[in-house]
Amino acid sequence: MLNELVVYLHAAGNSPIFQVFAIIIATFILEDAATVLTAIEVQSGLIALPVALGALYAGIILGDIGLYGLGMAGARWPRARRWVNLPEGERRAEWMRAHVMRAVFISRFIPGARLPVYTACGFFRAGLARFTLATSVATLIWTSALFAVSLRIGAVILTHLGAWRWVGAAGFVLTIIVIGRFAAHLQKRNS
- The pLDDT tens digits for 93-102 are 777 778 888 8
Whole-number Cα distances in Å, 13 to 16, 21, 22, 23? 8, 11, 9, 11
pLDDT at 10 over 50: yes
CA-closest candidate to residue 138, choices 73, 80, 51, 60: 60
* pLDDT at 103 exceeding the cut of 80: yes
CA angle 124/180/165 to nearest 5° reads: 130
- The H or E element spanning position 37 is helix 16-44
State the pLDDT at residue 126.
Answer: 87
Other C-beta atoms closer than 10 Å to the C-beta of 140 total 14
Greater model confidence, 6 or 147:
147
Domain boundaries, the chain: 2-190
Is the confidence at residue 9, as pLDDT, over 50?
Answer: no
What is the average pLDDT across 159-179?
63
Quick one: which of 73, 184, 61, 79 has its CA closest to 119? 73
Distance CA(189)–CA(186), nearest Å, equals 5
pTM of the predicted model as reported, rounded to 2 decimal places:
0.76
Residue 87 has pLDDT above 60, yes or no: no
| pLDDT at position 94 | 78
The pLDDT score that the predictor gives to residue 69 is 95
In this predicted structure, the answer to whether residue 132 has a pLDDT above a threshold of 60 is: yes
Q: Is the pLDDT of residue 86 over 50?
A: no
Residues in the chain: 191
Q: Decide which of 54 and 39 is more confident.
A: 54
Closest CA to 145 of 56, 74, 59: 56
**CA-closest candidate to residue 56, choices 44, 40, 67, 72:** 40
